[in-house]
Amino acid sequence: DTLWELAIAEVKKRENPDDDVKPGEVWEKSILFMGNKNGGKTTIILRCLEREESPKPTLALEYTFGRRARRPNTPKDVAHFWELGGGTSLVELIRIPITSHNIRSFAVVLVLDLSKPDELWTTMESLLQVTRNHVNKILTKLEKTNPEVAAEVKQRMWNDLQRDHPDYALVDPFPIPLVIIGTKYDIFHEFDSEMRKIISKTLRFVSHYYGASLVFTSKSEALLLKARALINHLAFGYDKSKSVSVDPSKPLFIPAGLDSMSQIGPPPASDSDLGKMRANTPLELWKKVFEKTFPPKSFCDLQDTKDPAQDIQYAEYEVDVMRAQKNQELEQYRRNASKCWKEMDFDSD
């Protein structure tokens, strides 16, 4: 297809949104990957797309896509992969990929670095909260302009949890499909068993509370295949896995809707400690218990974000020379402006 043909097809799709894929039509989905900096998002995307490339640092918001045919001699389905870099510092960029036009076919993959538990809750809370707020704003607008679509999206939130599930009234599903991936399991596996138990139980609760799937992975091919299976379900409509692994001594693998509060158990703290903690929701209680064991790291992502202009991998001689010249001109302007202000005689009246 030419770029023009693709553009025409996209316009027609936006004018006549129809997510019901009929025989011969193309399945088109979008997925946003976000999470810890250097958490392994790019590696997961490359493996899902079966690309033998070395991962590079993600700059702001990056895009790629994959195409697969469901059956021989049929049009290839398309999956749009967006990746948010910078940890939580650039979270406002999620407004670019998540729009009212693709909200029906959008999903989120939250990648958390298991080797950094002191950053885990802060990263998770910040990214999910901003994403949820943005999606809810889209749904509020759609309720006025296209109530059928808004109702459909809200109904899908509950697709993975049957009405007869004992926790149906206790959870608060994320407004769009969500997968939580815990990476660097090889490092996490070396943690003290009690630490692993707390992290595992907490992520199980959060995933179940949000109606999300949960999987732990590493560079191991077998573990990457499990994460890939969950993503392929979102991206290309592959069959959803029904296998479950909840043993804290092994990598977790829990598709959405297959866990329960009774199996997860209470927050890992003594009754006396739980009694002293003030919380308005179960999620807030779990947060307090988790952060008592793993106090959140005090850091600022914005300060840690590197200036891409100084990164040697983006070096371009002519551009860099011009930039250096403009920097000198700017510095000269600053000096002249400062001198001008100092010499001005302000009337005290």
Q: Tell me: the pLDDT tens digits for 61-116?
A: 888 888 877 667 777 888 899 999 888 888 889 899 999 989 999 999 999 999 99
The backbone torsions φ and ψ at residue 162, rounded to the nearest 5 degrees and listed phi first, read -70, 155
- Work out the widest C-alpha separation in the chain, in whole angstroms: 85
Which residue intervals of 146-258 are DSSP H helices?
147-156, 185-188, 193-209, 221-236
Tokens of 261: 């509060």
**Angle of CA points 68, 74, 77, to nearest 5°:** 30
Q: Which residue has the tokens 């459909």?
A: 152
| CA distance linking residue 240 with residue 66, whole number of Å | 19
Where is pLDDT greater, at 234 or 13? 234
With the CA atoms of 50, 210, 123 and 141 taken in that order, what torsion angle do they form, in degrees rounded to the nearest 10? 90
How confident is the model at residue 275, as a pLDDT?
A: 77
* Alpha carbon distance 317, 141 (integer Å): 47
- CA dihedral sign, ordered 199, 229, 155, 78: positive
Q: What is the pLDDT of residues 265-289, one digit of tens each?
A: 988 887 777 778 887 888 999 999 9
Burial of 72 (0-12, 13-18, 19+ CB in 10 A): exposed
240 contacts 255 by C-beta, under 8 angstroms: yes
Rounded to an integer, the average pLDDT of 41-45 is 88
- By the 8 A CB rule, do 179 and 235 touch? no
Sheet strands side by side (includes 178-183): 61-69, 76-84, 28-35, 106-113, 178-183, 213-216, 253-254
DSSP 8-state symbol, 297: P
Task: Supply the pTM of this predicted model.
Answer: 0.77
Please report the pLDDT score of residue 340 as a whole number: 58
Q: Is pLDDT larger for residue 328 or for residue 290?
A: 290
Please state the CATH superfamily assignment of the domain spanning residues 25-293 in this structure. P-loop containing nucleotide triphosphate hydrolases (3.40.50.300)
Tokens of 160: 């993975």
